[in-house]
Structure 1
Amino acid sequence: MNSDAVTRGLLFLSLTAAGVPGNAVVICAFISAAFHEGRLSPADAIVLHLASSNLMVVGVRCLLEVLATFDIYNVFDDSGCRAVIFIYRTSRSLSIWLTFVLSVYQCLSVAPPGSRWASARVLLAQNLPLVFLCLWLINTSMSVAPLLFAVGARSDSKLLQNGINVEFCFLSFPSRLSRDANGAAQVGRDVVPMALMAAASLVLLVFLLRHSRRAKGLRGQGARRGPSAERRAALTVVTLVTLYLLFYGVDNGLWVYTLSVPQTLSSSLVSDLRIFFSSLYAAVSPLVIIVSNKKVSKQLNCGKQPKTISDTEQPGD
């Protein structure tokens, strides 16, 4: 095994080692909270679904990449390639859109009571099951290409004519038009929530700045110190969105590069970098949630901390 393969395997192993237990801890913490409290808030439910999608990303794609790289187990025959890439693309896009829904919900949560935006937040909370169902249907239907065109990697020059090399597999499209159309649909599916959640994050940042100035003015009048639950929740969402824009921005840039160059020049290294950066969000985001979320921290402390009156609702709080 050459050094490049070892480096590749270790990188994906690091994502698996961070992402699988991290997302599993977040999921277990919210399930425990739901068991003890009898319900999950809308923000809790969104973060729980986000962690589940991230777990599928790192558990299905990254873990299997590690096993195949070190010749421990290889599932990447034709059927395995179709299943793995389909699950990976579906869970990856779900992770993106759930982050967008979380940013919108948190943005609406800072709206003044009685306003139209506050009413929209209530409407979103009441229809979350329908939102989740729609996201599953949309992202599943937009990820069917691997079921039709994915094949196991083998030396066949015909696969490279209109295909995409993803290391252990090829996506072999019948024509360049179908390949480019599928690529454009994938980019559009990511760019739309990217632009919208960036706008929502700007609103949150403006709110945080105004809130900080107001808090400084009140501090001399005996206002409590330390970040409020509302501010902590907003900072968590802004951090998650920033990570999304960074990692998935690189991912989509590499994807556009893959579509724009001849396939003979598009090596598996570009595909490895795409998978690494898109999976990096799934591995890092649970760490952000664990560090910043009081409810998850409380569950991890096994109830050692005394119970207090519930804070203002935050993502997973």
Structure 2
Amino acid sequence: MYLYNIVVGIVFSSQIAVGVFGNSCFICCFGFTWFSSHRSRPMKPILVQIMLTNIIVLFVQGCPLALFHLQKGYFLGNAGCKMVFYLHRVGRGHSICTTCLLSAFQAIIISPSHSSLAKFKVRLPKFIRPSCLLCWIFNMIIEMSVTKYITETKSINSSHRSEIDLLYCNMERALKELIIFPSLRDILCVGCMFFTSIYMVFSLYRHHQRVQHIHSTCLSPRTFPEVKATQTILVLVSIFAIAYCISCGFSLYKVYVIHSGAWIVTVSTFISMCFPTISPFLLIHRVTQTSNSCCACWQRPHL
């Protein structure tokens, strides 16, 4: 076994272990605060959905490549390739949809009372769980066609010019029905995240301008829970967008350059797995910071 294969296998295995641990810790901690806190948090179902999707993406993207490099073999078989790649596509699609929902719903939550979005605030909690369910159904339907074009890789030279070598599986290169609907979904979701992020930035700026003359003995404007939550979501969306765009660039290169190296698949997969690995630790850090500042405020004597 080559040293390169051992190193890549260990890197992917470590990334999976760290990511799954972080997402599991976040779900456990968030579940505890969910039942122990009396405060309503409408974003809880979406955040839990993102963490569960992260675990799925880490397993179905990272495990095949880690095992491929460590064993240097084609172990999935035809049915295994179809199932793993289908789960990968559904998980990826659900991740971008739920991140878009998170950004859009947070923009509604922080919208001023005089804006056109304010009328949706009261009804927002009723739409969160149905929206998450519809995202699962929608992505499972539009990704069904992918199973027809994924085949088992028989040997290291079995990939033809009409196929894309995914190392552990092969995929046909020119697939209009496989690309058009997921591409439209991705463009709409990324566009929505872009515009809602701009809206949230301007809303936070206007909020800061309005309250900067107010002196609080407890919380500064930047430590209000709503502001902290919005800042966290903006950072989360930014990390997702950067990792997604870089990964898409490598994927397009793999699709349109016939003699591209196998390293493209490895690098693209590693980058796309950065978001599900980093995001739970970012959220845990932000939630801990907010909880500590609120506790300090509560314990401080008011004069």
Q: Normalised by the size of structure 2, how large is the TM-score? A: 0.86
Q: CA RMSD in A?
A: 2.9
Amino acid at match of 1:224: L
Distance 1:258 1:127, change over 3 A: same
3-state SS of paired residue (2:120): helix
**Aligned residue in 2 for 1:58:** 58
Q: 8 Å contact 2:9–2:70 — kept in the other structure?
A: yes
Residues 178-219 of structure 1, C-alpha deviation per residue, up to 9 Å, x if partnerless? x24423433332222111101111111112223333443223
- CA displacement at 1:145 relative to structure 2: 3.4
Matched, 1:208 2:219: no
Matched, 1:96 2:57: no
Q: 8 Å contact 1:81–1:152 — kept in the other structure?
A: yes
Matched, 1:133 2:143: no
Q: 8 Å contact 1:19–1:55 — kept in the other structure?
A: yes
Amino acid at match of 2:225: A
1:185-204 matches, within 5 Å, as: 185-204=181-200
Amino acid at match of 1:208: L
**Aligned residue in 1 for 2:256:** 260
Matched, 1:25 2:21: no
What is the percentage of aligned positions where both structures have the same residue?
Answer: 22
Distance 1:10 1:45, change over 3 A: same
Matched, 1:250 2:246: yes
**Aligned residue in 2 for 1:224:** 219
Amino acid at match of 1:63: C
Write the distance in 2 (CA, Å) between the matches of 1:277 and 1:224.
37
3-state SS of paired residue (1:42): coil
252, 255, 278: which one aligns with 1:284: 278
Write the distance in 2 (CA, Å) between the matches of 1:39 and 1:27.
18
Write the distance in 2 (CA, Å) between the matches of 1:275 and 1:124.
35
The size of the alignment, in residue pairs, is 296
Amino acid at match of 2:152: G
Amino acid at match of 2:95: S
Gaps of 5+ in 2: none
Q: 8 Å contact 1:150–1:170 — kept in the other structure?
A: yes
**Aligned residue in 2 for 1:240:** 236
Write the distance in 1 (CA, Å) between the matches of 2:85 and 2:178.
14
Matched, 1:275 2:280: no
Amino acid at match of 2:113: P
- CA displacement at 1:170 relative to structure 2: 0.8
Write the distance in 1 (CA, Å) between the matches of 2:36 and 2:269.
37
Amino acid at match of 1:85: F
- CA displacement at 1:168 relative to structure 2: 0.8
Q: 8 Å contact 1:291–1:297 — kept in the other structure?
A: no
1:36-51 matches, within 5 Å, as: 36-37=36-37, 41-51=41-51
Write the distance in 1 (CA, Å) between the matches of 2:192 and 2:93.
15
Write the distance in 1 (CA, Å) between the matches of 2:180 and 2:297.
50
- CA displacement at 1:252 relative to structure 2: 1.3
Write the distance in 1 (CA, Å) between the matches of 2:286 and 2:40.
18
Amino acid at match of 2:100: F
Distance 1:113 1:255, change over 3 A: same
**Aligned residue in 1 for 2:68:** 68
Residues 65-109 of structure 1, C-alpha deviation per residue, up to 9 Å, x if partnerless? 323321299752111111111111111111111111000111111
Write the distance in 2 (CA, Å) between the matches of 1:251 and 1:131.
26
3-state SS of paired residue (2:4): helix
Amino acid at match of 2:255: L
Write the distance in 1 (CA, Å) between the matches of 2:219 and 2:31.
32
Q: Normalised by the size of structure 1, how large is the TM-score? A: 0.82
Write the distance in 2 (CA, Å) between the matches of 1:234 and 1:33.
19
**Aligned residue in 1 for 2:116:** 116
3-state SS of paired residue (1:63): helix
Amino acid at match of 1:51: M
Q: 8 Å contact 1:78–1:151 — kept in the other structure?
A: yes
